[in-house]
Copies of this chain bind each other. A is one copy, B any other.
């Protein structure tokens, strides 16, 4: 009755059949489309694969305490620094939540707060050298991971995936408020 996800096995719906190369796919069976529920799972699994590898590698390079949510927040701060309420707007969360996240980043040594001489209400949040280091390493690691996918699938297939996703993704989905989105109060 219900289109049940193949859990309880490890069950990548079509993934275990071709772990090695990347050439002879599509050509065995009939071209029946996959079940609709597999697409979101595959997208999430792809995202998660990249993020997990990123953080494994970051941990190896001296950033063991960063969580995915922190990376998003660091991106939201930006090289120029931001006020907490700007961060909140960019992440799509309340300014109180942004304040707590900044607290956490400060505690981890990735950001610091400074007074804004132009406006005594604001407190500018800036990346520390460690924050910049983390961001630079992240960019390099993402570059490497994409290159690995391109080596496996072919550059034009990765580009096609990016172009296609860019075409169908709703603009609102391109927000940084990944954390708390899944289970949260939406």
Residues in B with CB closer than 8 Å to A16 are: 171
Q: In the complex the two chains form, is A144's CB within 8 Å of B1's CB?
A: no
One digit per residue, 1 when the CB lies within 8 angstroms of any chain B CB and 0 when it does not, for chain A 113-151 equals 000000000000000000010011011011111110110
Q: In the complex the two chains form, is B160's CB within 8 Å of A11's CB?
A: no
At the interface, yes or no: A103 with Cβ under 8 Å from chain B?
Answer: no
At the interface, yes or no: A60 with Cβ under 8 Å from chain B?
Answer: no
Per the bound structure, the CA–CA distance linking A170 and B186 in Å amounts to 29
Enumerate A157-186 residues with CB–CB distance to B below 8 Å.
157-174, 176, 178-184, 186
Could you list 15 examples of A-B contacts with CB < 8 Å?
A2-B135, A3-B136, A4-B78, A12-B174, A14-B163, A15-B171, A26-B163, A33-B155, A34-B146, A35-B143, A36-B143, A39-B50, A39-B161, A42-B169, A152-B168
